[in-house]
Structure 1
């Protein structure tokens, strides 16, 4: 599978976040209206960028409210 776009490893942190935001904004539209191939590409690109984000931010802050125990406490 080939994906157009800059390799995630060479994006600046700012560009990486911008790309992730854009994919989040376009996800529902891709899911509802894109061809199977376009949806697969969207999913693939999202995975590439998320993987790169996690590589750069292994100690990212985890919000306790976003975890199962936090949800139960509410």
Structure 2
């Protein structure tokens, strides 16, 4: 069985569409994990990783970790 692409390539999505796609995938993740087939879970995972990678590429400041959630940041406030 040949793999087929799922959705528009992330690089071709507008910023708003990228955010909407990620939000939708995160909303459907639990249902796919619990009730989806192995191939559905694989496709969902591949799409999620591709969208998240594109988000990280486009929005590095938004996706940077909160300093309070890193060991170095926690040490500074100890």
Q: TM-score if structure 2 supplies the norm length?
A: 0.78
Q: Please, which of 10, 14, 18 is the counterpart of residue 8 of structure 1?
A: 10
Q: How is 1:13-52 mapped onto 2 (pairs within 5 angstroms)? A: 13-52=15-54
Q: Distance in 1 between matches of 2:22 and 2:69?
A: 19
Relative contact order, higher structure (CA 8 A, sep 6+): 1
Query: Aligned pair count?
Result: 73
Structure number, greater radius of gyration: 2
Q: Distance in 2 between matches of 1:2 and 1:68?
A: 41
Counterpart residue number, 1:53: 55
Gaps of 5+ in 2: none
CA RMSD of superposed structures (Å): 2.1
Deviations 1:2-56 (A, max 9, x none): 3321110111110000000000000000000000000000000000100100111
Counterpart residue number, 1:62: 65
